[in-house]
Structure 1
């Protein structure tokens, strides 16, 4: 069984969603066939939205990606699945990389790495800055880095999936053209 067929077989049908008491209220929006169709644009947009919200927002990623997929007419299952780009294994490296990117873009000063949360006074490198001021200073580079990463990776995944989809279509079409007539 091909991968796409296996994925489709594991997805809930529209009828199952309509009968689900927790999702029934979404019925008017979720029943659009375009939201479930496996097309190049829909899948690429769904993955891009999922990656965008997965990187940008640490909580409520799935509901936000579904809402964006409904508004932008993207594939909902791929939007939901691609939010898992951030998980307990990848969360730390992604946020550290986003912080470093934010420090580079904003030109902020690096903060010392020996922060003792049990003794806030010992965590202050600058004697004039309080512990909460230092945490706030970490926030700006992190937010800038997350926003840039989310936008760049969302656009990159959209372009990459579109290119791969187009390449597969061309390869299949060439294979059919070379096949002997039956």
Structure 2
């Protein structure tokens, strides 16, 4: 069952409630619905975790926790999925979102030299002398980025939700067929003896 696999990696509500600062949430954090491992809870957590991962703010985990509590889906999974966006994946996420937004808004896409100048400017300002940063002339549309982020988040969240439901159903049907085969084999063995 997928429950056994998932339960192996998710902490217990008591362990989470014992963490410092969690007592402020009160009894909400120990609500059994936030810790259920069923198709609805896991697929909902997949949706909200992925959507919150695409929010370009440092408080993604808090937003995912609030969504999990509000929609009563699996809390640990929705928080864990926010780590899809990390320092290694953030640049591709932002670039693909800007591509989607620029197509919708009809604004020109950034070419490779402009991206190279942006990366050089960011690295020199972070690790070197900011006075020697490479000046860049580009038109960046924030609206295109935000709309692209929203569209990408909702579409990928919906795909994740649907995939979890389909995989869950496939796993349950497969287990049911295996049990039917075992029962049939058992009956045949009983008839022979």
TM-score band w.r.t. shorter chain? 0.7 to 0.9
| Cα pair 1:17 1:24 within 8 Å, conserved | no
Partner of 1:73: 72
Distance 1:122 1:35 in 2: 49
TM-score, scaled to structure 1? 0.82
Secondary structure of 1:21 counterpart: coil
Kindly state the Cα deviation for residue 11 of structure 1 after the two structures are TM-superposed: 3.5
Partner of 2:161: 158
Kindly state the Cα deviation for residue 4 of structure 1 after the two structures are TM-superposed: 5.4
Distance 1:148 1:27 in 2: 35
Kindly state the Cα deviation for residue 7 of structure 1 after the two structures are TM-superposed: 4.8
Distance 2:161 2:75 in 1: 15
Partner of 1:123: 136
The two structures, once aligned, show a CA RMSD in angstroms of 2.5
Greater helix content? 2
Q: Which has the larger radius of gyration?
A: 2
Secondary structure of 2:21 counterpart: coil
| Cα pair 1:53 1:61 within 8 Å, conserved | yes
Secondary structure of 1:109 counterpart: coil
Change (3 A) 1:25 1:178: same
| Cα pair 1:99 1:142 within 8 Å, conserved | yes
TM-score, scaled to structure 2? 0.78
Kindly state the Cα deviation for residue 140 of structure 1 after the two structures are TM-superposed: 1.4
Structure 2 stretches lacking a partner, 5+ long: 122-130, 188-193
Kindly state the Cα deviation for residue 6 of structure 1 after the two structures are TM-superposed: 6.0
| Cα pair 2:7 2:37 within 8 Å, conserved | no
Distance 1:72 1:3 in 2: 22
Secondary structure of 2:57 counterpart: coil
- Cα-to-partner distance string for 1:129-166 (whole Å, 9 max, x where unaligned): xxxxx4xx431111111011011111111011111101
